[in-house]
Structure 1
């Protein structure tokens, strides 16, 4: 939703009614992940996207309906073999969407999420549309049970987005929690030409990118305009003092032992997502020997990706940056790093954030075929046994 911040705040300031459609569940292949958002205002203006075009028309009509009725709605779109290209996810996935008409009561928590400069979660009751913004120590919006708030804070701490069913029997509530946390960090060590290309692609992938080098003449803003920050400091000293977390990726591009070895002694003992180091096979073997001599264990050394990047056969700085980025994405998302044409099975992994899926009940109230879609229409009450 935050990718629509500027437009939504304009609508809020103008007092313009609108409906918000959010992907809350994905099964199989689908173009967008949970949390993708589309909004439609009272005049029919559309911003955002939830499926890259596959279901936009149908969701647009749901938004218009929600604005007319004032009631939220959930709808599940599934692939239909009969009319595969009429409307729908021809990639074969199943997509669940929650459409919510935004009320005046919703504006305060929504604005808190849109404007917050710290980590924040948006919580929505998928039955009533009640909306709550939750920070690390504060909350604004509708009243939710403390168990829901605690769950939202736990998800926020992990940066997780997804559905949760909380409580039991008549106190059960189904919520969708969207976590907004600062972007993950990419720290590029070594102010060389390859670093400029890696910095550009890192920023493109959504990382907050830092370039660090001890040599002031090379580590300049003019040479790295795409970096969020450029730091002149010995790499190992900077890494020892700067905040990192389990999403941080470290790209060591100096391939100079006096920088690499002290730096990797620090890097390989940190709880980060990725440590990659540039260099030839000979450089890599020499580096490993020096690290062993410095006391690094085999378990620690096993965390090192070196030579850095996937084998794409590239030679230019830009091609090398693509290889590095591809390795990071594959590791982050659990990809095989093989050509899709040489693999079988689903292209996208299943949504691991969904604990239980109430949107696909064993006995749906009604299933209708709609222009190539199998549509499971869920009303906003729990299904009772048939």
Structure 2
């Protein structure tokens, strides 16, 4: 869920707010079309990328809040020396008022997105404000048609519900959960030891104590990411086999060295895992240029790798690197 949308109902308790959205971009810019900032008189939520552009956007939004009920407005910003930025591109920002009396409606919209709905926004030149519609179809998208004087904008907001199933609550698992706290990855954290989990758990983490961790592989959502980092190599091997048998894996990472990978590939191939699935297994895990071996560094490297996969998958609308729906033999 976009942070501005999650925060907007609370922001409206203090009065009207302004939505500031990136309508169009030419050249290099700090945020993409559709990025939105919610602005109140004393607080704001989300970001347009920071810097002087965001400062100017907040100042203009607050001036609008003090000036009655202005219609939607588009301003053009050149990201050059005059704005104190060196991106070199051009950004068109859309400013639109949200009335405090709509707080309940925005609370309902936010909750609907949490439950899997899609929120559709349409706005065009000359319209007094956006039309907002909840539906059950469509992924996040932003489409602008026409010219800047005669335009029509359609956005879809859908909570990105990628799931990470994390096996192992050791030092690296603990560090990784801390790094990913507050991200939009829903983490199913599995271990056989009831006292192994950090407390309190971040809001996006569900701890599962299981004597049969392999059974949790089948309970993961299609397109999920999996990380295996337990305290036993024999369990790692069994988990890897169960994961790689699935035909809808989004990402699979196994902690270990190249020699561990070689041993596991040999044993998994002997058990019928196809070579293309073995090739897609990330082991060692993490970005290769981060070579430190302490838990915090490994966790940061793995988190960056996961977020890179998430962004690529979201952009491609993909659910995994293997399209077949049937398990391996």
TM-score bin (small chain): 0.7 to 0.9
Q: Distance in 2 between matches of 1:114 and 1:88?
A: 35
Q: Name the counterpart of 1:23.
A: 22
Instruction: Give the counterpart of 1:283 among 260, 269, 280.
Output: 260
Q: Is the 8 A contact 1:109 1:132 kept in 2?
A: no
Q: Which ranges in structure 1 are unaligned for 5 or more consecutive residues?
A: 137-152, 167-171, 335-350, 354-386
Change (3 A) 1:328 1:279: same
Change (3 A) 1:272 1:35: farther
Change (3 A) 1:316 1:57: closer
Q: Name the counterpart of 1:73.
A: 73
Q: Distance in 2 between matches of 1:331 and 1:6?
A: 24
SS in 2 for 1:305: coil
Indicate the larger mover: 196-205 or 273-282.
196-205
Could you say what the CA RMSD is over the residues aligned between the two structures, in angstroms?
Answer: 3.3
* Aligned residue runs from structure 1 range 14-93, under 5 A: 16-41=15-40, 44-48=41-45, 49-60=47-58, 62-63=60-61, 64-65=63-64, 67-68=67-68, 70-80=70-80, 84=81, 86-87=82-83, 89-93=85-89
Instruction: Give the counterpart of 1:239 among 209, 217, 229.
Output: 217
Match status 1:297 vs 2:274: yes
Normalising by structure 2, we get a TM-score of 0.77
Aligned length: 301
Instruction: Give the counterpart of 2:138 among 146, 154, 159.
Output: 154
Higher relative contact order (CA 8 A, sep 6+): 1
Instruction: Give the counterpart of 2:171 among 183, 188, 193.
Output: 193
Q: Is the 8 A contact 1:165 1:175 kept in 2?
A: yes
Whichever of the two has the greater Rg, that structure is 1
Deviation of residue 55 (structure 1)?
A: 1.3
* Aligned residue runs from structure 1 range 139-288, under 5 A: 153-155=137-139, 160-165=140-145, 174-181=152-159, 183-213=161-191, 215-217=192-194, 219-220=196-197, 222=199, 225-226=201-202, 228-233=205-210, 234-242=212-220, 244-246=221-223, 248-254=224-230, 256-268=232-244, 269-288=246-265
Residues 126-168 of structure 1 show CA distances to partners (whole Å, capped at 9, x for unaligned) of 43223213131xxxxxxxxxxxxxxxx322xxxx2312549xx
Q: Name the counterpart of 1:344.
A: none
Change (3 A) 1:132 1:106: farther
Normalising by structure 1, we get a TM-score of 0.67
Residues 23-44 of structure 1 show CA distances to partners (whole Å, capped at 9, x for unaligned) of 2344444333444333444xx4
Change (3 A) 1:92 1:69: same
* Aligned residue runs from structure 1 range 279-358, under 5 A: 279-311=256-288, 312-333=290-311
Q: Is the 8 A contact 1:187 1:250 kept in 2?
A: yes
Instruction: Give the counterpart of 1:98 among 78, 94, 111.
Output: 94
